Amino acid sequence: MNLYLQELLALAPVSLGPKVQFLMSIAQSGKEVKIELLYIADCPNSQPTIEVVQEVLREQGLPPDIIEIEISDAAQAAALSFPGSPTVRVDGKDVEPSGNLFPSYGVSCRTYFLDGRFEGMPRREWIRNAVLASKSKR
């Protein structure tokens, strides 16, 4: 359980709102949404992606906790099935709905095909949908 949720639990005698009660239920059940951002150093899209993920988490009443994993070599990229930077995973699953149809792992940038063109970040909608799906399983 993270420190944020532990602090909320300490407030339990106080009347809490529904979002806080939801967070407490997650903390007590030990089932938090696990968000990972895998990236390479100097990736221009990693920080903007982190900001989008944090915004989505806050909108869903979840703490903006992200496990950031820097990929530094080809062996690590292969071991973590890293298709490129940035990669966002919710509960271990890539947020890109179509998944990686042509898996290739290495220390490189990632592109997402959106509306007929390539972009350097996943869609906000994909991140939100993945978080919602994870929350619904709890």
The span from the CA of 35 to the CA of 50, in Å, is: 10
pLDDT at 101: 66
Query: Domain residues for 26?
Result: 1-32
Query: Are 106 and 42 in the same domain?
Result: yes
pLDDT at 31: 60
What is the number of domains present in the chain?
2
Query: Are 59 and 45 in the same domain?
Result: yes
Predicted structure pTM score: 0.75
CATH at residue 126? 3.40.30
Query: Are 43 and 23 in the same domain?
Result: no
Query: Are 70 and 111 in the same domain?
Result: yes
What's the mean per-residue pLDDT of the chain? 83
Give the rounded percent of residues in the chain with a pLDDT score beyond 90.
Answer: 65
Query: Are 111 and 72 in the same domain?
Result: yes
Short-list 116, 54, 42, CA closest to 88: 54
Q: What is each CA distance from 78 to 28, 67, 107, in whole angstroms?
A: 35, 19, 9
Short-list 48, 31, 20, CA closest to 91: 31
Query: Are 24 and 57 in the same domain?
Result: no
pLDDT tens string 22-68: 444 444 444 689 999 999 999 999 999 999 999 999 999 999 999 99
Mean pLDDT, residues 111-134 taken together: 94
